[in-house]
């Protein structure tokens, strides 16, 4: 089924997933570009799915609900206009079945949605990166990312921000001998030059080139210990060090 990109703000993506029975809006940080898409395509959305409560993912929910009178799915009442609180497991919607995953780390109650080989992961997994730790712990985010890494390799990764080039610069710093990173940089640079998204990625590609999914690899262990010699080789500690390094990387 078609999945549409709607750019928002400076680097957000809102997604619309079309189904035979409806259309789902995923992480609507603002409403106006969604209204424009619906008018252009003559579609009325049937539901809103939110991965977490941050305003750049939920700022358009209220206006969309007022216009379309549609249900809102998310973790809890921190999602505005929430009508259906969901937990990890299966979710039936518009005669379709989605898998909901609990992926704490960026926030304590972050969710991801898997549907027909597509992963909508909000600010947990990015192309070549991962989200900052605002509420969760490094251990929580590490295990959330490992959960996503165990999805089928051909799963398409739809994250919520266009951070790929900056993430790849960091990946090249910490994993400089990885040829896949250089290949991704070349491709992503060309994509952004024509204002095209660098997404979706895939689970296979992320497992091969995303440093935050490869914290068990000797190259990443060495890099983490150059930044903080007390890191050691425990993958969670390696992840924590790489995440702190990325927080200050420019």
Statement: the pTM of the whole predicted model exceeds 0.95: yes
Q: What is the 3-state secondary structure (H, E, C) of 43-78?
A: CCCCEEECCCCCHHHHCCHHHHHHHHCCCEEECCCC
Q: How far apart are CA 243 and CA 228, in angstroms?
A: 12
Work out the pLDDT band at 250, boundaries 50, 70, 90.
Answer: confident
pLDDT tens digits, 188-216: 999 999 999 999 999 999 999 999 999 99
Is residue 4 marked as binding?
Answer: no
Work out the pLDDT band at 249, boundaries 50, 70, 90.
Answer: very high
Is residue 94 marked as binding?
Answer: no
Work out the pLDDT band at 42, boundaries 50, 70, 90.
Answer: very high
pLDDT tens digits, 151-177: 999 999 999 999 999 999 999 999 999
Is residue 106 marked as binding?
Answer: yes
Share of the chain above pLDDT 70, in %: 100
Element (H, E) at 185: helix 179-193
Is residue 230 marked as binding?
Answer: no
State the CATH architecture for 97-249.
4-Layer Sandwich (3.60)
Question: Considering the chain, what is the average pLDDT of its residues?
Answer: 98
CATH 3.60.15.10 residue ranges of the chain are: 1-86, 97-249
State the CATH architecture for 1-86.
4-Layer Sandwich (3.60)
Is residue 248 marked as binding?
Answer: no
Look at residue 126 in the predicted model and tell me its pLDDT.
Answer: 99
Element (H, E) at 118: strand 118-122
pLDDT tens digits, 77-123: 999 999 999 999 999 999 999 999 999 999 999 999 999 999 999 99
**Which positions are catalytic?**
52, 54, 56-57, 106, 123, 161
Residue 36 pLDDT greater than 90, yes or no = yes
Look at residue 79 in the predicted model and tell me its pLDDT.
Answer: 98
Closest CA to 222 of 164, 177, 166, 165: 177
Please give the DSSP secondary-structure letter assigned to residue 168: H
Q: How far apart are CA 81 and CA 73, in angstroms?
A: 9
């Amino acid at each position: 089924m078609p999945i549409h990109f709607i750019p928002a703000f400076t680097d957000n993506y809102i997604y619309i997933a079309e189904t035979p029975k409806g259309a789902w809006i995923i992480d609507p940080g603002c409403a106006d570009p969604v209204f424009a898409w619906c008018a252009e395509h003559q579609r009325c959305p049937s539901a809103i799915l939110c991965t977490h409560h941050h305003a750049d993912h939920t700022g358009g929910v209220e206006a969309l609900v007022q216009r379309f009178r549609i249900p809102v799915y998310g973790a809890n009442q921190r999602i505005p206009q929430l009508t259906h609180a969901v937990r990890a497991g299966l979710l039936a919607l518009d005669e379709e079945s989605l898998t909901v995953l609990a992926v704490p780390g960026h926030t304590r109650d972050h969710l991801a949605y898997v549907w027909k080989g597509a992963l909508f992961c909000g600010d947990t997994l990015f192309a070549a990166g991962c989200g900052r730790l605002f509420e969760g712990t490094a251990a929580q985010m590490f295990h959330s990312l490992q959960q996503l890494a165990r999805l089928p390799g051909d799963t398409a990764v739809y994250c919520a921000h266009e951070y790929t080039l900056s993430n790849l610069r960091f990946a090249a710093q910490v994993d400089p001998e990885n040829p896949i990173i250089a290949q991704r940089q070349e491709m992503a640079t060309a994509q952004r030059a024509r204002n095209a998204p660098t997404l979706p990625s895939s689970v296979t590609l992320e497992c091969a080139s995303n440093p935050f999914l490869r914290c068990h690899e000797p190259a990443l262990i060495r890099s983490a210990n150059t930044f903080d010699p007390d890191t050691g080789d425990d993958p969670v500690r390696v992840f924590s060090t790489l995440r702190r390094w990325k927080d200050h990387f420019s």
